[in-house]
């Protein structure tokens, strides 16, 4: 099984620095971990499930319970899978939703921090499955083996950029972005080069 240390050695060899003259194994490991975080967030590769104690509150600060939380995937309570909704929809159905207690049926997020379950539940527990940040303390990548090459591409790009080999570094970064499914808007320059239409011009504000 590949470890961050073994992948770092592979990266050093690929950038022709096997002796670690320009880059240390520890620093390359940091690049690999950063690449893993980007990759896992883009591809949704790390899922976790945990218990969220409910006490009748209308909102719960999710990171207090799940520090590695990125976004929710599924929520259930009392053995029932809850339906995802939004604050807008809940407010339209019942303006006083934040004071109504009953069997939970729906859930929604307030931004990326607060989770609400409605109707409000008393002393019970919800089960939350969520997309998580990879652990920063383990010695092996959290993502599956087939993604290890993608991690090395990111680390290679950073190493090469630090050596001012920007052309090759850019190519490695493009490979990483393509495999991670991340769209790099900087390479979509064709729209910026097209002739501007009249509708592209800012509307002139009327003078007072």
Q: What confidence score (pLDDT) does residue 144 get?
A: 94
Q: What confidence score (pLDDT) does residue 183 get?
A: 82
Q: What confidence score (pLDDT) does residue 205 get?
A: 43
Backbone angles phi, psi at 17, to 5 degrees: -135, 45
Quote the CA–CA distance of 162 and 22 in Å, as a whole number. Answer: 9
* Residue 146 resides in a domain: no
CB crowding 179-193: b at 16 or more within 10 Å, else e: bbeeeeeeeeeeeee
DSSP string, 89-117: HHHHH-TTGGG-BSS--EEEEETTTEEEE
CB 77 within 8 A of CB 54: yes
The pLDDT mean for the chain works out to 88
Range of the domain at 84: 47-132
Paired sense of beta strands 123-132 and 83-84, if any: unpaired
Q: What confidence score (pLDDT) does residue 185 get?
A: 57
* Residue 4 resides in a domain: no
Q: What confidence score (pLDDT) does residue 204 get?
A: 38
* Residue 80 resides in a domain: yes
Quote the CA–CA distance of 170 and 175 in Å, as a whole number. Answer: 9
* Residue 64 resides in a domain: yes
Count of domains observed in the chain: 1
Q: What letter would DSSP give residue 193? A: H
For the entire predicted model, the pTM comes to 0.75
Paired sense of beta strands 106-110 and 47-55, if any: unpaired
* Residue 196 resides in a domain: no
Residues of the chain with pLDDT under 50: 187-208
Q: What confidence score (pLDDT) does residue 169 get?
A: 95
Q: What confidence score (pLDDT) does residue 18 get?
A: 84
* Residue 53 resides in a domain: yes
Quote the CA–CA distance of 125 and 81 in Å, as a whole number. Answer: 13
* Residue 119 resides in a domain: yes
* Residue 59 resides in a domain: yes
Q: What confidence score (pLDDT) does residue 186 get?
A: 59
Q: What confidence score (pLDDT) does residue 184 get?
A: 64
Q: How many CB atoms lie within 10 A of CB 152?
A: 21
């Amino acid at each position: 099984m590949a470890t961050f240390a073994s992948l770092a050695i592979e990266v050093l060899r690929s950038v022709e620095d096997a002796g670690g003259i320009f880059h240390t194994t520890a620093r390359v490991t940091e690049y690999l971990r950063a690449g893993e975080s980007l990759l896992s967030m883009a591809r949704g590769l790390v899922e976790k499930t945990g218990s969220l104690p409910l006490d009748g509150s209308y909102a719960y600060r999710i990171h207090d319970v799940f520090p590695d939380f990125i976004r929710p995937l599924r929520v259930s309570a009392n053995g029932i899978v809850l339906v995802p909704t939004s604050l807008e929809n809940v407010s339209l159905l019942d303006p006083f939703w934040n004071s109504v207690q009953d069997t939970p049926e729906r859930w929604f997020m307030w931004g990326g921090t607060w989770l609400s379950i409605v109707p409000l539940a008393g002393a019970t527990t919800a089960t939350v499955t969520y997309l998580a940040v990879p652990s920063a303390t383990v010695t092996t990548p959290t993502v599956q083996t087939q993604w290890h090459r993608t991690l090395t591409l990111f680390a290679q790009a950073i190493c090469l950029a630090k050596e001012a080999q920007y052309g090759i570094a850019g190519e490695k970064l493009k490979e990483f972005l393509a495999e991670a499914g991340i769209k790099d808007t900087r390479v979509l320059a064709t729209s910026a080069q097209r002739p501007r239409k009249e509708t592209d011009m800012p509307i002139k504000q009327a003078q007072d």
